[in-house]
Amino acid sequence: MSPAPSASDPVRTTILPAWAAPAAWTVALAGLAVGLGIWVPRLVDQAAARPLPAPVRVVLRELPPWLPADERTAIERTVLRAIAESPFDRDGLVRAREAVATCGWMPEVTQVHRRDVDEVVVEGTWAVPIALVCDAEGEHLIDTRGRRLPRTYPAGKGPRLVRIWGVTMPRPAEFGARWEGAEVDAALRMAALVAERPWRHQVTRIDMSGFASSGTVSLVTDGGCAIAWGRSPGDESAAEVPAMQKLAALQLAFDRTGRIDGGSREAMDLRGDFTLAR
């Protein structure tokens, strides 16, 4: 055995050759390259094997049952287009909210927000269709506030809603815009007055053709009877009876004959104390 070195022995130092350090780095880099060559393809394969995120689902809160399926789909696509460029930031949601507000079906869009990464929720107030304004171009659906909704039908092909005839002001160019002038507002007051009556389905038309000259409104029944109502509800003149008295006269005829027009009358006048019929 060799004797243990004493404290007085000189310390021996091993000097590596100059090529040793570069060679070590070369070996390390080669090992790293081999590792990357093995693991990167595996990671790529794993990423490719993962299922893609589910497509974004648009939820329209309190969706009314009467909304046509194609209109619902159009709103959903509008939202998806708006968020496509920036699906995870606020700008996309703001654009979606603005786009939905112009569709015509939601007069007030309170918010558009993400409930999850694959779900966008639209909240707001839906329009309530109430009547059709008829002109030479067809029958235009409007809501309770006189706004034009995104639906126009050929004459006689619209849903079973009361028709408004004789409006002189042109229809709004944009969906969601209110009809100008006082005619449609007066017709809507008339429609709201009879909306809850058991005989409402017998009133097929509100005729506004005399409104521009005399401020008067007429009703037309499904039997073809023209009923002179007078001035619109809430705007009666001193010379005519109140709206409730006119409604009572129609109700009395309905109770007696099952028809507000008596079944065979061509015309009625409700403006005076006595109902005139022929």
Q: Token digits for 237?
A: 């003149």
Q: How far apart are CA 130 and CA 151, in angstroms?
A: 13
| Helix/strand/coil for 56 | coil
In terms of Cα–Cα distance, which of 172, 167, 181, 168 is closest to 152? 172
Q: What is the overall mean pLDDT for the chain?
A: 82
Total number of residues shown for the chain:
278
Residue 199: count other Cβ atoms within 10 Å of its Cβ: 17
Q: How confident is the model at residue 15 (pLDDT cuts 50, 70, 90)?
A: low
pTM tops 0.75, yes or no: no
In terms of Cα–Cα distance, which of 60, 155, 143 is closest to 100? 60
pLDDT at position 51 over 90: no
Average pLDDT over residues 85-106: 84
Strands of 203-207's sheet in order across: 148-153, 138-143, 129-135, 162-165, 203-207, 216-221, 226-231, 267-269, 276-277
| pLDDT tens-digit series, residues 117-167 | 889 999 999 999 999 999 999 999 999 999 999 999 999 999 999 999 999
How far apart, in Å, do the first and last CA atoms of the chain sit?
A: 142
Q: State which CATH number among 3.30.365.10, 3.40.50.11690, 1.10.10.10, 3.40.50.300 fits the domain covering 129-277.
A: 3.40.50.11690
The fold of 57-125 is Ubiquitin-like (UB roll) (3.10.20)
Q: How far apart are CA 271 and CA 256, in angstroms?
A: 21
Which value, in Å, is the radius of gyration of the alpha carbons in the chain?
A: 38
| Helix/strand/coil for 63 | coil
Give domain limits for the chain: 57-125, 129-277
Side-chain-side CA neighbours of 75 within 13 Å: the count stands at 28
pLDDT at position 56 over 50: yes
